[in-house]
Structure 1
Amino acid sequence: MRVAVAESGTAFDRRLIVPMVLGSVLNPINSSMIAVALVPIGLALGALPSETAWLVSALYLATATGQPVVGRLVDRYGPRRLYLAGSALVGLAGLIGLLAPNLGVLIVSRVLLGLGTCAGYPAAMYLIRRGKDSPGGVLTALAVSAQTIVVVGPTLGGLLIGAAGWRAIFAVNVPLALACVVFGLLRLPRFDGAAPETPLDFLGIALFAGTLTALMLYLMDPAAGDLWLLGVMALCAAGFAWREMRAPDPFLDLRVFGGNAPLIATYGRALLAQTASYAILYGFTQWLEAGRGLSAAHAGLVLLPMSLFAIVISTVTGRRAAYRGKLIVGGLGQLVVSVLMLTLDSGSPLWLPVLLTLICGLPQGLNGLANQSALYYQADPARIGAASGLLRTFSYLGAMVSSAATGVFFKHGADTAGLHGLAIFLSVVAALMLVMTLADRSLSRVGRTP
């Protein structure tokens, strides 16, 4: 049986905030900087856009699969060792990317980056769960830091590329990883519990990875000829369920999840929220450039109000426990954004897409933080690492659903007709999220009762 690093009920050590934030932003900074590097990488290595797209997908796939796995390891062995190992792997991946001779090696670097960045967020949630203090401020710090990195990531990436070439966005991981290792060694508590008596559920992990990999590979480029991937997913999922119901110490205890409908609902809302979020970040941005005729720089400026407003909203509301109200406002905001998208065309005045992105700051600032905070209270404390990692998995599944939808509606280019089709799809997504939130009365009690 696992023994906590610090007894539940002890005060949260504020010195942990720096390594927690540093570790949790490694993933968003590598997710956002790559956006401005795909074109120069393709030119330098002679790769087509369809090939460089794997630099994005590889990190998503590795992270979505690895987050709950590393989270479970955090639950069993404490955060310190996993945090330090993940940080070291990020540094190694940065060096490989810096020296990569071809695209294949560069993709390997991105896979290692995805795996290495898996430890930061589950480790942070584990440490927060050990304290008696209200987690609102710390959870807000995690959310705001990630949102800030998403805002500045492309700009930072552009500056690094302009100063030292595209390899600099890989090299920057070396000093970041070194900082994580130093702060981790100095401040993260040592695990003082007994070693787990039962072996790690390797078969369950393998079947889970197979299920998720097959699903995400299909979502990357859905086609009738690839339906066999869904068959593989179904077989792995059935085997995973069979294994987890019989394992003495399962990787994901499906019996716990099966009896925790509020937590399952949080995962569903996270998927829907991130589907809408990534569709705006990538699909709407493509239309701004191809359909509205803006340059890449101007399109980025149009999105800036959304990101800045989201940071303000998260900061102002982070300590408030009205999670159901936040999600309702976030869902309504996303519905309004989707309706506004239906009014856009190539001749729309510039203030209209700017207004749209500003309103989009509401769901961006409310949904992610509210779902993260709800999970903190809904998850089994003994499995908070795996549960929080799985939240990130559902977020990345949302990203893949968004990518698939964008590919369908922009099949013939990012034109206005495609944008309107995407807007109808996002309206359905927003409506589903609203229905799930309104139906979940348990959200009103989250954070208020033991």
Structure 2
Amino acid sequence: MTPKLVRPAAGTGRSAPADRFDRRLIAPMVLGSVLNPVNSSMIAVALVPIGVAFGAPPARTAWLVSALYLATAVGQPVIGRLVDMYGPRRLYLTGTALVGTAGLMGALAPSLGVLIAARVLLGFGTSAAYPASMQLTRSEAERTGRDSPTGVLTALAVANQTVAVVGPALGGFLIGVGGWRAIFTVNVPLSAACLVLGALWLPGATVSNAGRRSVDLPGMVLFAAMLLSFMFFLMDPRPTHWWLPVLAVAAAAGFALRELRMDRPFIDLRVLGGNVPLLATYLRQLLGYTTAYSFMYGFTQWLEEGRGLHASTAGLVLLPLSVSALTVSGLTGRREAVRGKLLAGGLVQVAACAGLLLLDSGSPVWLLLAAGVVMGVPQGLIGIANQNALYRQSAPERIASAAGLLRTFMYLGALGASAADAGFFAHGADTAGLHDLALFTAAGSVLFVLVTLFDRSLSTVTPLSGKA
């Protein structure tokens, strides 16, 4: 029998274990992948203080959310494609360096415009680590000959969910200690840690000249134009902006025509068109995270304006959501049960949205805490289930691209949530706006359940076996 080859980890003379996942990769993978959710969630409690500092209403501070997600919605598939082509190490290190730069830029920002620019840079910087991690997971499975990534995938999902749900409380603490600029400053040490761990442990990639294929720059530009024009209209829908949706449709048509004619497109629409299960997973990701982010940003702003809580107190009110999500993830993470998790998550989301209709400016604290507990359950189920489904539904050679696109649909959900918050809270985060937001998210959650019920492919998803 031919012995298995081992590869040395970058920056060391030690060899990776021949028959099991190289656990030295887990620290940089996990830390890098949480940079986006921690920045996504901490901003939730900072929107009101930033608005006060710069005299900006919720409709303008909503761009702090949208800017990051527009950048990541474009950046994830772009960088995911580059990871597939050139390997994860250089993209990971470049991206995490940008995060530190954006942190300094935001901490020193003299205006809301500069702050929004820092969030754009954060979006691009945080787009590298997750597709790099998924590519490393796949390559390790191929290297070891053991298709057993359950533990690693669960670690990534749980880590991302942990920081996403703990983020508001962490943001509230940082604001209480050092003001809202502290939520940007914290990116500097996080970036430094990623750079050190990545340089030490991430393997270098040997890419042949045949692998250095040209990047589909026109396709990327059309994709970005489609997202930007559509989002600009959603954030400020008025008759005089009629040309924005027209531009979005034109860019979408041009994008589709180009990608279908390209031999090596930016996003292979032909593969997506023939992979209905993967499309359904992307749709569920969009719907599930539209509700999750609407709650995170909308409910948090209402706690501060409609309920009158301080930012640090609002963050603490969301702690039960963190405990609920982490408990559910911990109890169910190693059992695949994709269909069951998605159905349970969708149904509880419907119930959580309905529960928001019971809240008003005089609601007792225990009821606010209960709302977070209920919403934490689907956050502990849906992300892991979609990630496991994608791992099995995507082509191995495009796993990083597919993972980047999964994140893109999550960020599209966040963009939809941001637009909804801006629309329903146009004149402030009052109770009437919260109730309208609850009805909007309840409708999306019902659609999520229906998509899951009618997706027969979920019953044939191959269970992940073994331990990583």
The 8 Å contact of residues 309 and 365 in structure 1, kept in 2 or not, is answered as: yes
The 8 Å contact of residues 79 and 127 in structure 2, kept in 1 or not, is answered as: yes
Measured after TM superposition, the shift of residue 307 of structure 1 is 1.7
Equivalence for 2:189: 175
Aligned with 1:320: secondary structure? coil
Change in 2 beyond 3 A, CA 1:246/1:328: same
Change in 2 beyond 3 A, CA 1:408/1:35: closer
Change in 2 beyond 3 A, CA 1:108/1:357: closer
Equivalence for 1:139: 153
Equivalence for 1:210: 225
2:193 is the alignment partner of 1:184:
no
Q: Which amino acid aligns with 2:277?
A: P
Structure 1 residues not aligned, in runs of 5+: none
2:382 is the alignment partner of 1:367:
yes
Q: Give the percent of matched residue pairs that are identical in Structure 1 and Structure 2.
A: 61
Of 79, 82, 92, the residue aligned with 2:101 is: 92
Change in 2 beyond 3 A, CA 1:420/1:161: closer
Equivalence for 1:304: 319
Partners of 1:35 and 1:339 in 2: how far apart? 22
Deviates more, 1:33-42 or 1:379-388: 33-42
Measured after TM superposition, the shift of residue 100 of structure 1 is 3.6
The 8 Å contact of residues 207 and 236 in structure 1, kept in 2 or not, is answered as: yes
What TM-score, normalized to structure 1? 0.90
Measured after TM superposition, the shift of residue 66 of structure 1 is 0.7
Aligned with 1:251: secondary structure? coil
Write the mapping of 1:50-89 to structure 2, written as runs, cut at 5 A. Answer: 50-89=59-98
Q: How many residues align?
A: 445
The 8 Å contact of residues 321 and 447 in structure 1, kept in 2 or not, is answered as: no
Of 269, 272, 281, the residue aligned with 1:254 is: 269
Change in 2 beyond 3 A, CA 1:87/1:404: closer
Structure 2 residues not aligned, in runs of 5+: 1-6, 9-17
Equivalence for 2:213: 198
Change in 2 beyond 3 A, CA 1:52/1:358: closer
Partners of 1:421 and 1:53 in 2: how far apart? 17
The 8 Å contact of residues 321 and 446 in structure 1, kept in 2 or not, is answered as: no
Measured after TM superposition, the shift of residue 119 of structure 1 is 0.1
Measured after TM superposition, the shift of residue 345 of structure 1 is 4.0
Partners of 2:169 and 2:361 in 1: how far apart? 27
Q: Which amino acid aligns with 2:232?
A: L
Q: Which amino acid aligns with 1:193?
A: V
What TM-score, normalized to structure 2? 0.87
Change in 2 beyond 3 A, CA 1:379/1:46: same
Of 405, 409, 415, the residue aligned with 1:400 is: 415
Residue by residue over 1:180-210, the C-alpha shift from the partner in whole angstroms, topping out at 9 and shown as x without a partner, is 1111111111112313253111111111111
Write the mapping of 1:434-445 to structure 2, written as runs, cut at 5 A. Answer: 434-445=449-460
Equivalence for 1:225: 240
Partners of 1:98 and 1:420 in 2: how far apart? 34
Change in 2 beyond 3 A, CA 1:402/1:106: closer
Q: Which amino acid aligns with 2:221?
A: A
Equivalence for 1:13: 22
Change in 2 beyond 3 A, CA 1:248/1:116: same
Aligned with 2:381: secondary structure? helix
Partners of 1:39 and 1:283 in 2: how far apart? 11
Partners of 1:42 and 1:294 in 2: how far apart? 16
Partners of 1:133 and 1:217 in 2: how far apart? 43
Change in 2 beyond 3 A, CA 1:113/1:419: closer
Write the mapping of 1:101-120 to structure 2, written as runs, cut at 5 A. Answer: 101-120=110-129
Equivalence for 2:41: 32
* Structure with bigger RCO (C-alpha 8 Å, 6+ apart): 2
Measured after TM superposition, the shift of residue 295 of structure 1 is 4.7
Q: Which amino acid aligns with 1:181?
A: L
Measured after TM superposition, the shift of residue 138 of structure 1 is 1.4
Change in 2 beyond 3 A, CA 1:421/1:217: same
Residue by residue over 1:10-38, the C-alpha shift from the partner in whole angstroms, topping out at 9 and shown as x without a partner, is 63211110000111011122222333444
Change in 2 beyond 3 A, CA 1:406/1:387: same
